[in-house]
């Protein structure tokens, strides 16, 4: 995966790569998401027949080729034209669910028509309730099987790389960005040929056309900071299909969400892109799984870069793991082929890790193969 990341870094202007790669403020949570996985250790079983490893599983009530899915990633058409569609198609061919972001650069309808496979729509709850309801109706009418409501974004995070680079969507180059863009002719040719990417699902939303605001600022000023438990209950009643809630890091919140009637809980700190200093997602996973028990499935994202990370998360109680940056690096390097290669790498690594751990089937992954760090090793006092 590191090779795909490096290919993307070389191909993209610095401002675009930093938007994909970076986190908020000092990026402590961004780093700790990786460190948390790296601190976990495996205790392999021996003398187990692992000549045939089966990755197939169930994700939120339907079959999947592996315990993996695609996390929502916004504004990614600035890396590769129609990158959303490229990743969605790669996911469909791999037999994995795909989640389209509210801030995608392809529309809800275009993905439904062009991708196939299992489609979920990630919803930012906006202050404009009518606009939010229209987004939900469009996803319903287009046949999306699940709505993923993001709960951890009452306002936009402070992404200092983007502020420093002056990165916006639509792309509006100043003299420094222009020099950055001209230094990456292959990327620039693709962008000029395809046209500037736009937030296709947010056309007509007040403030999204502001030329000089960062992406986080544009989205943040439109978010409904008053969205609460009662509002979520009303949304649950309005949405007729699977409802998944994303951005949960606490067991007490997870328990209440299960009682409210959501269909799955998605443990996430937004990939380290919002609240810097929040707990690493995989460190929060055990508390959430313990709180909901077997009532509803739990999904995890943030920090996943290896197939062994998927194994660790599933062994910790996650039903599936969502990837954002992995397929984004692949798509930014080589479009759909790059995204497909990222998924191939992750599945190959997961299969190998299961063989080396003596686990032939996903259903047999459990906490007995893990050795978790102590509080001292995690830096907790």
Crossing angle for the helix pair 325-357 and 14-21, to the nearest 10 degrees: 50
Does the CA dihedral 269-271-276-278 come out positive or negative?
positive
Q: Which residue has the tokens 């000089």?
A: 212
Helix or strand or coil: residue 365? Answer: coil
- Residue 67 in contact with residue 321, Cβ under 8 Å? yes
Residue among 111, 40, 85, 87 at smallest CA distance from 283: 40
- The pair of structure tokens assigned to 381 is 């006092």
Cα distance between residue 205 and residue 311, in whole Å: 41
- Residue 142 in contact with residue 112, Cβ under 8 Å? yes
DSSP state of 126: B
Residue among 240, 206, 199 at smallest CA distance from 126: 206
- Residue 317 in contact with residue 285, Cβ under 8 Å? yes
Q: What's the predicted TM-score (pTM) here?
A: 0.93
- The pair of structure tokens assigned to 364 is 């047999």
Cα distance between residue 102 and residue 123, in whole Å: 6
Low-confidence ranges of the chain (pLDDT < 70): 173, 206-218, 374-381
Helix or strand or coil: residue 72? Answer: coil
- The pair of structure tokens assigned to 125 is 């709850």
- The pair of structure tokens assigned to 53 is 């490893």
Cα distance between residue 84 and residue 101, in whole Å: 9
Residue among 220, 223, 211 at smallest CA distance from 167: 211
Residue 374, phi then psi, degrees to nearest 5: -75, 170
322 Cβ contact list (under 8 Å, min separation 6): 68, 69, 70, 71, 99, 266, 268, 299, 300, 301, 304
- Residue 271 in contact with residue 302, Cβ under 8 Å? yes
- The pair of structure tokens assigned to 252 is 């007490």
pLDDT at residue 74, as a whole number: 93
Q: Identify the helix (H) or strand (E) that includes residue 229.
A: helix 229-238
Strands 370-371 and 41-42: what pairing? antiparallel
Q: Which residue has the tokens 């002719």?
A: 185
Question: Does a cis peptide bond (omega within 30 degrees of 0) precede residue 170?
Answer: yes
Q: Computed over its alpha carbons, how large is the radius of gyration of the chain? A: 20
Using CB atoms within 10 A of its CB, is residue 287 exposed (0-12), middle (13-18) or buried (19+)? Answer: middle
pLDDT at residue 170, as a whole number: 72
Residue among 98, 122, 107 at smallest CA distance from 328: 98
Cα distance between residue 325 and residue 98, in whole Å: 13
pLDDT at residue 9, as a whole number: 96
Residue 104, phi then psi, degrees to nearest 5: -65, 160
Q: Which residue has the tokens 């990327």?
A: 187
Active-site residue flag, 184: no
CATH architecture designation of domain 2-40+59-353: Alpha-Beta Barrel (3.20)
- Residue 269 in contact with residue 280, Cβ under 8 Å? yes
How many Cα atoms sit within 13 Å of 25 on the Cβ side?
10
Residue 333, phi then psi, degrees to nearest 5: -85, -40
């Amino acid at each position: 995966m590191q090779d795909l990341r490096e290919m993307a870094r070389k191909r993209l202007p610095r401002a675009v790569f930093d938007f994909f790669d970076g986190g908020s403020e000092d990026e402590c949570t961004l780093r700790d998401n990786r460190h948390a996985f790296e601190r976990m250790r495996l205790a392999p079983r021996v003398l187990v027949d692992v000549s045939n490893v089966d990755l197939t599983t169930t994700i939120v009530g339907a079959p999947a080729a592996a315990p993996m899915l695609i996390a929502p990633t916004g504004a990614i058409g600035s890396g590769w034209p129609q990158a959303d569609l490229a990743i969605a198609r790669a996911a469909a061919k791999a037999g994995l669910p795909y989640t389209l972001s509210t801030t995608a650069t392809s529309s809800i309808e275009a993905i439904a028509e062009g991708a196939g496979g299992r489609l979920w729509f990630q919803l930012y709850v906006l202050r404009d309730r009518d606009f939010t309801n229209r987004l939900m109706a469009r996803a319903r009418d287009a046949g999306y099987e699940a709505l993923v409501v993001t709960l951890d974004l009452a306002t936009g995070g402070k992404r200092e790389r983007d502020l420093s680079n002056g990165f916006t969507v639509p792309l509006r180059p100043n003299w420094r960005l222009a020099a950055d863009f001209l230094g990456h002719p292959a990327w620039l040719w693709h962008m000029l040929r395809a046209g500037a990417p736009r937030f296709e699902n947010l056309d007509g939303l007040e403030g999204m056309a502001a030329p000089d605001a960062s992406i986080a600022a544009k989205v943040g000023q439109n978010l409904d900071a008053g969205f609460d438990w009662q509002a979520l209950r009303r949304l649950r009643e309005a949405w007729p299909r699977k409802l998944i809630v994303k951005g949960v890091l606490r067991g007490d919140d997870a328990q209440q969400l299960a009682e409210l009637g959501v269909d799955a809980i998605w443990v996430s700190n937004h990939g380290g892109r919002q609240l810097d200093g929040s707990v690493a997602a995989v460190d929060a996973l055990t508390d959430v799984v313990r709180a909901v028990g077997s009532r509803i499935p739990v999904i995890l994202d943030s920090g996943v870069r290896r197939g062994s990370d998927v194994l660790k998360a599933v062994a910790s109680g996650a039903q599936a793991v969502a990837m954002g940056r992995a397929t984004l690096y692949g798509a930014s390097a080589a479009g759909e082929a790059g995204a497909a290669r990222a998924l191939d790498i992750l599945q190959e690594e997961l299969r190998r890790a299961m063989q080396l751990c003596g686990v032939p089937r996903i259903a047999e992954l459990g906490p007995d193969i893990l050795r978790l760090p102590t509080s001292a090793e995690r830096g907790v006092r």
